Amino acid sequence: MRNLILHTYSFNLMYAQKLLDGIADDQMTVQPTVDGHTLKNHPAWIIGHLANTSAGFGTMLLGVESQQPDGWQEKFGAGSEPVADASQYPDKQSLADKLADVHAFVAESFKNVDDARLAEPNPAERLAQVFPTIGEMITFVLTSHEATHLGQLSTWRRAMGLPSAF
């Protein structure tokens, strides 16, 4: 089962990289409006959020050394508000590199974590009712959580007039 989760996590990284292709640096914080609704989650926030979430939950759930840069929890964590000011975010390449680095580190950590650890109760109290064990929570973080935000990035691309990533 672990190999299936890691395969999906690897696919998510490849998909994120494809979704970033063709996005200019000056577009990374654009928040387009579609049918009267502003798409607040722009590429800079989405990629930073995915890197931050994997890094944070990797530390919390797998017990590994933190991979979160200073200030990223406030900028990219749950409840943070994406802003259109590009100066508030790292550049596109830095975000993409951080996501790739975190993916490699967390994937290796997940591959090597003891099964007994995955069976332990989820320490993320807010989500423990839905994902009661560490294994269930980390599976969600590496698969469904990423896919949800990558879907937002795909929608953002279309709103910006960019072609499908596939």
Grade residue 111 by pLDDT with cuts at 50, 70 and 90.
very high
Q: Which of 26-30, 50-54, 66-70, 98-102 has the weakest average pLDDT?
A: 66-70
- The mean per-residue pLDDT over the stretch 40-56 comes to 97
Contacts of 29 (CB under 8 A, 6+ apart): 42, 43, 44, 45, 82, 83, 84, 85, 86, 88, 89
Q: State the pLDDT at residue 8.
A: 98
> Please, are residues 135 and 121 in contact by the beta-carbon 8 Å criterion?
no
Query: What interhelical angle do 43-62 and 92-112 show, nearest 10?
Result: 20
3-state class (DSSP) for residue 57:
helix
6 C-beta neighbours (distance < 10 Å), count:
17
Name the residue with tokens 């490699």. 104
Q: How far apart are the C-alpha atoms of 62 and 64, rounded to whole Å?
A: 6
pLDDT digits (tens, 9 = 90+) for 119-143: 999 999 999 999 999 999 999 999 9
Would you identify the CATH topology of the domain 2-21+40-159?
A: Four Helix Bundle (Hemerythrin (Met), subunit A) (1.20.120)
